[in-house]
Amino acid sequence: MRREGQPPSGDVAADEAYEGLGSTFDLYSEVFARNSIDGAGLPLRATVHYGHLYDNAFWDGERMVCGDGDGEVFGRFTRSLSVIGHELTHGVTQFASGLVYRGQSGALNESVSDVFGALVEQYAAGQTSDQATWLIGAGLFTPEVQGEALRSMRHPGMAYDDDVLGRDPQPAHFDDYIQTDEDDGGVHLNSGIPNRAFVLVADALGGHAWERAGRIWYDAMTTRLPADVDFAGFALATAHAASARYGEVSAELDAVRAGWHGVGVTIDGRAG
């Protein structure tokens, strides 16, 4: 419907997807010097109007796919730049570390997508950490739903509280980690824990979150992480990244340690 450099198509979803692909490319290119999501110039593609009243968006290993929503709970998924950045970041994770999509590594897979989805949105708007909403999927719910977004990174468990959907079940602390066989071991639930850790780091450092906190997370996710890394292992990777980039005695490393401590994950490999 629209290729690189072409004018708007007139299809709202297609044009939103096009702009979202560009905004995501810009963050990775201009901030992290990454050439597309694979680091080698992979063309970014998207499918819109997927299915019939489809209530989701996903990365299928080659492209982003977005539904139009059912019009009762969800509207079109291309409305949210954070969701577009989230889905494309699954591609970055695919090429960079291949985190196993189950349990804690799966929750980290989801969290990394939320982190960089939020940063895509903030970079496009020029927002500082304290100006940002840290909401993923704001604006996707119809007015009938009592909720702000799919997830809140700053306040996991408080994104929605609705008669039909129920209350946002995400935990914000490792003490409340959800053990379940559903949702690939709770990947969309327990991602709230590392999400909040990142926001704590970004808030402590202040300014634009992509400049320091984002660089630390990017460095950590593009190192040789074990595919089944747990929260403590990823926390240690972020500490190593902060130390390597900013020094063993630095505000950045202190912020990383404090951020993970704030959600019950310690840097020395133990959680709780």
Binned at pLDDT 50, 70 and 90, residue 270 comes out as very low
Let me know if residue 5 belongs to a domain: no
- Determine contact, residues 99/109, Cβ cutoff 8 Å: yes
Residue 190, pLDDT above cutoff 60: yes
Selected catalytic residue, list 16, 86, 87, 90: 87
pLDDT tens profile 118-159? 999 999 999 999 999 999 999 999 999 999 999 999 999 999
Give domain status of residue 136, yes or no: yes
Query: What is the span of the domain harbouring residue 179?
Result: 12-261
Exactly one of 86, 90, 155, 188 is catalytic; name it. 188
* Within-domain flag for 271: no
Q: Is the pLDDT of residue 1 over 50?
A: yes
Tell me, yes or no, if 155 is annotated catalytic. Answer: no
Q: What is the pLDDT of residue 48?
A: 98
Could you tell me the CATH number of the domain that includes residue 20?
1.10.390.10
Domains in the chain, number: 1
For residue 132, is it within any domain?
Answer: yes
256 inside domain: yes
Query: To the nearest 10°, the Cα dihedral for 147, 63, 192, 255?
Result: -120
The Cα–Cα gap between 108 and 31 comes to 22
Question: What pTM did the predictor assign?
Answer: 0.96
Q: Is there a domain that residue 173 lies in?
A: yes
Residue 116 pLDDT > 80, yes or no?
yes
pLDDT in the model for residue 268: 67
Please give the Cα distance from 178 to 272 (Å, whole number). Answer: 14
Q: What percentage of residues in the chain have a pLDDT greater than 90?
A: 96
Q: Which of 40, 231, 184, 31 is nearest to 120 (CA)?
A: 31
- 155 occurs within a structural domain: yes
Tell me whether residue 121 is one of the annotated catalytic residues.
Answer: no
pLDDT score of 224: 84
